[in-house]
Amino acid sequence: MAKSTKILVKKVPVTVKRINDQDYVSLTDIARFKEDYQTDDVIRNWMRNRNTLEFLGIWEQLDNEGFNPVEFDGFRKQAGLNSFTLTPKQWVEKTGAIGIESKPGRYGGTFAHLGIALEFASWISVEFKLYLIKEFQRLKEDERMTLDWDVRRNLAKINYRIYTDAIKGHLIPDPVTKEQASHTYANEAALLNVALFGITARQWRDGHPGTKGNIRDDANDAQLVCLSNLESLNAELIKQGLPQRDRLQKLNAIAIEQMRILADQVNIKRLKRN
């Protein structure tokens, strides 16, 4: 997906963008379905709700290692009081939250992780939430089709194979260890990184001090193709209710199999994109 794109939900343009490899949706745009001009007030009224705070706090505790529970408890104790107010900016600055991003200015606005955005949409209108899910799914399907075309185009440009086992071994992941399988990962992105690359993004950064970008920026196209497949498979495994440990082991086995196939077809160097 491009840096940001728009989907049309009940005649309301809603912006979707990628932040840290995750989909974030504009709460400002969603709020326009309820109130076209006072979107900030709509978001603040939602955030001062006790149930909303409980939801946001649990989300952060599950997905954010840097979340500040002390500040969260302070907000939770005040929730429900007539005098209590809370803005997205205050929430982020006080608690270190990552599920919401808020920036001022004409091209700013408040964005939230997809799961949080759907909770907000449900508070606005259950009907709007259902249409949002439908349009988001359509967007992801369009992205998948575009990716498939790009992959075929790039692979068609490759005119020689990988000849040495040493190079193949560099591409093919190692089986996950018992320690990796028993570890609880903060988010799905970390789980997928371990399944394919054998390390988390944080471990990669620790091993590449001063390097710009991240572990996925450093990946070659074969690995990116495999990663896209793993993301889709992981979504299905989550629907099946498989625990994180089992999903990691299954995804790692699939990554090894797919990279063996791709290693026979693609160049170790990253393909230059047009």
pLDDT in tens, 48-95: 999 999 999 999 998 899 999 999 999 998 987 888 999 999 999 999
- Mark whether 68 and 103 lie in a shared domain: yes
| Overall domain count for the chain | 2
Integer Cα distance of 258 and 222 in angstroms? 9
What is the per-residue pLDDT for 100? Answer: 96
Summarize pLDDT for 219-247 with one digit per residue, the tens.
Answer: 877 788 888 888 888 888 888 888 999 99
Please tell me whether residues 20 and 121 are part of one structural domain: yes
- pLDDT score, position 117: 95
Q: 96 in a domain, yes or no? A: yes
Query: Quick one: pLDDT at residue 160?
Result: 35
* Three-state SS at 87: coil
> Looking at residues 117-142, what average pLDDT do you find?
92
Residues 110 and 207 in one domain: no
Six token digits for residue 133: 């899910």
For 16-45, b/e burial (b = at least 16 CB within 10 A) is: bbeeebbbbbbbbbbbbbbeeeebbebbbb
pLDDT for residue 273 is more than 60: no
pLDDT over 90 percentage in the chain: 45
Q: For 153-208, write each residue's pLDDT tens digit.
A: 555 444 333 333 334 445 788 899 999 988 988 888 899 999 999 998 888 888 88
Same domain, 129 and 199: no
Residue 264 pLDDT class (50, 70, 90 cuts): low
129 with 198, same domain?
Answer: no
Domain that holds residue 16: 4-133
Establish if 116 belongs to a structural domain. yes
